[in-house]
Amino acid sequence: IAGTWDESRSLGFAIEIDEMGRLTFLMGDGEGKVSTANLPTPLLERQWVFVAASYSAKDRTVVLHQSPACDIGDLGSAETGKFDITAFHGKRAQRHFFIAAHKASGGDGLLLAGGHYNGKIDSPKLYACALSIEEMASLGCGAAVDRLNQGVSADWDFSIDQGSDIFKDVSGNGLNGRLVNMPARAMKGFNWTGRFHDWRTAPSEYGAIHFHDDDLYDAGWATDFTFTIPSGLESGVYAARLDAQHASPAYVIFFVRPPKGQATSDVVYLASTATYMAYANQSLIARDPLDEMSMGSLLIFGEDDLFLNENPEYGKSLYDLHSDGSGVCYSSRLRPVLNMSPNAKYWSFGGDGYLTGWLDALGINADVITDEDLHNEGESILAPYRVVLTGCHPEYVSLAMWDALKIHLGRGGRLMYLGGNGFYWRTAFHPTLPGLIEVRRAEDGSRAWSAEAGEYFMSTTGEYGGMWRRQDRTPNQLVGIGFCAQGFMCGSYYQWCPDSTDPRVDFVFDGVTKSSKFGDYGLSGNGAAGQELDRYDLSLGSPRHAVVIATSTGHTDNMVLAKEEFGAMHWMIGGTENNNVRSDMVFFETAGGGAVFSVGSISWPMSLPINDYDNDVSRVTRNVLERFRDPEPFPLPSSEFLGVVSPKCLVAK
């Protein structure tokens, strides 16, 4: 739990939990003599307990104390014991005091930790005096011990500067600590009352940090090679290919922006790097296979999946659990991200490659920026561009990103949302630590884990976490549609809706034959409507003047409603029985002369390459892009057109 213990030299002291769950004190003299003492009753998992150890060098004794911090009588009673210690601390100076780990080695200028602790720690203190059994018991009951007021060496308050990687010593001795690899902050402490759920309102009740043995922010690898971007290199998505014997190539992806303030196109592709980070090194093996099988798809493990299962030290995704079962709320790009690769699964970076490949194949020049760029620079980075393209799954979005896109549309910009389940989870970028994002999966939504009650507010920014839908910023308000269904076994097709005859969307159909269906092909489940779908819904803020151009149909019962969509019809969740299981393609104008086009399906870009890019999905996408590049403003329709839009579509006879 804490101490100066140096495992490599068997030197120092530590208070630990042994393999049997017992509170243990450990001391070594660095000369081979080690003493241990432990209380006989194991600690209970996931229950707050006050623990303390007091060592008397004069008497060579240690006092250990534990008392459950709970008013329920079945969790055990306080326990205190006094033990003789034959080893002594010695006179060797100890430079480091560890919390939630011990020193493993320190050669070659590296300080390595081991013996990691999984769990929460609140309000650790260090005193420069030994306590009696009676005094230790008094502390456990919350009583003051007067002489300790003069002997405090360090008093660490984890509730101060929650977003920082520094934790404060309030003793006046200046012994501030540094967090390594970002354990979870803004965690409710032992004294949480439940009266307040925002840590900023009751900071004293959020004095805990949740430590994990698999936390990882910065891998800290040494630099093997560097690459200087050549002057004049086109903006785009690039990769450094790494070859090795007896292994498939690995790719280090990087994004090249245009020179600052020098846009080279009127189109910009917004790379969903926040989503890539959220899925970084997602372990399909570690997750319950049934969560995918229930949607009709047996898991297929690739080479990277097997590697990550054998090498968990590369860090986890926001879809994984820590080794103690708690959800992972931080992710980082400062580590190897194996599934950010051309060979990755379709719903993330791998799927976006079909869109950038389409741009290249059709000779369409587009600059590239990232989510992180948009978050940091806001609307100013979009100002030179007329059209913004998203990838197939821009799921993770910060408030700054959302506002920048809204301003872009308000000044006449255009947005092509070419995916599904976008703008879904509220995401925070750390204000001072680069490449770190945070997500708290609060209240509702299709989620791999749930944040504990009282831990919905993000430590990095103080923002309330969870779905944008729960915060009156539904995706429907921004892009006209919102997430409604998911299923990964097979895709389906679209049918044109009656409103597709509206002259406002004539530009969509240049070279397109209006047959009974289209998009019944693709590299993801043989259909353009698949994986995750978005639907037009007036009740969730979809614009009344939007044109529902097409909608998907023919889905199987492996395409099911999203959790938040169950409502009163929760017993009808599959695609064969519920009309709300569908993807809607919509278009609408914005007040500034701009416009939005949304396809509502992750699988849409995977249909672009079929027949050498000569298909209706490709033609529709290009037609919209060409009109959106046209500087002529999109006028808002007159009020007579602002009625309720019907998503009913043509049905083949």
Contact 64, 39 (CB under 8 A): yes
Of 67-76, 311-320, 589-598, the least confident: 67-76
State pLDDT tens for residues 193-226: 999 999 999 999 999 999 999 999 999 888 999 9
Instruction: Say yes or no to pLDDT of 569 above 60.
Output: no
Residues whose CB falls within 8 Å of the CB of residue 121, separated by 6 or more in sequence, listed in order: 1, 2, 99, 100, 158, 208, 209, 211
Average pLDDT score over residue span 453-471: 96
Question: Alpha-carbon distance 237 to 407, whole Å?
Answer: 26
Q: In 10 A of CB 332, how many CB atoms? A: 21
Structure tokens at 443: 């209240």
Average pLDDT score over residue span 148-152: 74
Return the pLDDT at 248. Answer: 83
State pLDDT tens for residues 480-528: 999 999 998 889 999 999 999 999 999 999 999 888 899 999 999 999 9
Burial readout 56-81 (b: 16 or more C-beta within 10 A, e: otherwise)? eeeeeebbbbbbbbeeeeeebeebbb
Instruction: Say yes or no to pLDDT of 414 above 50.
Output: yes
State pLDDT tens for residues 581-614: 999 999 999 999 999 999 999 999 999 999 999 9
Return the pLDDT at 290. Answer: 44
What percentage of the chain has pLDDT greater than the value 70?
Answer: 91
- The whole-chain average pLDDT of the chain stands at 90
Return the pLDDT at 651. Answer: 38
Return the pLDDT at 428. Answer: 98
Domain boundaries, the chain: 2-150, 236-424+467-636
Q: Which residue has the tokens 């780990």?
A: 101
Nearest 10 degrees: CA dihedral of 352, 356, 361, 364? 140
Which residue, among 360, 397, 186, has the nearest Cα to 272 in the 3D structure?
397
> pLDDT band for position 294 (50/70/90)?
very low
Residues whose CB falls within 8 Å of the CB of residue 534, separated by 6 or more in sequence, listed in order: 420, 421, 422, 475, 479, 481, 482, 483, 484, 583, 584, 598, 600, 601
Question: Alpha-carbon distance 631 to 624, whole Å?
Answer: 13
> pLDDT band for position 282 (50/70/90)?
confident
Return the pLDDT at 96. Answer: 86
State pLDDT tens for residues 158-199: 999 999 999 999 999 999 999 999 999 999 999 999 999 999
Q: Which residue has the tokens 């944040």?
A: 451
> pLDDT band for position 650 (50/70/90)?
very low
Q: Which residue has the tokens 């999966």?
A: 441
Instruction: Say yes or no to pLDDT of 131 above 90.
Output: no
Q: Which residue has the tokens 């719903």?
A: 347
Cα 268 to its chain centre, rounded Å, is 24
Of 138-152, 366-380, 384-398, the least confident: 138-152
Instruction: Say yes or no to pLDDT of 281 above 50.
Output: yes
Average pLDDT score over residue span 633-644: 72
Return the pLDDT at 71. Answer: 61
> pLDDT band for position 304 (50/70/90)?
confident
Which of the two residues, 62 and 77, has the higher pLDDT score? 62
Of 106-120, 204-218, 406-420, 457-471, the least confident: 106-120
Helices (H), 458-598: 475-479
> pLDDT band for position 30 (50/70/90)?
confident
Sheet bearing 98-99, strands edge to edge:
34-38, 23-29, 11-17, 2-3, 98-99
Average pLDDT score over residue span 9-34: 91
State pLDDT tens for residues 250-276: 899 999 999 988 999 999 999 999 999
Of 343-352, 395-404, 462-471, the least confident: 343-352
How many Å from the N-terminal Cα to the C-terminal Cα in the chain? 71
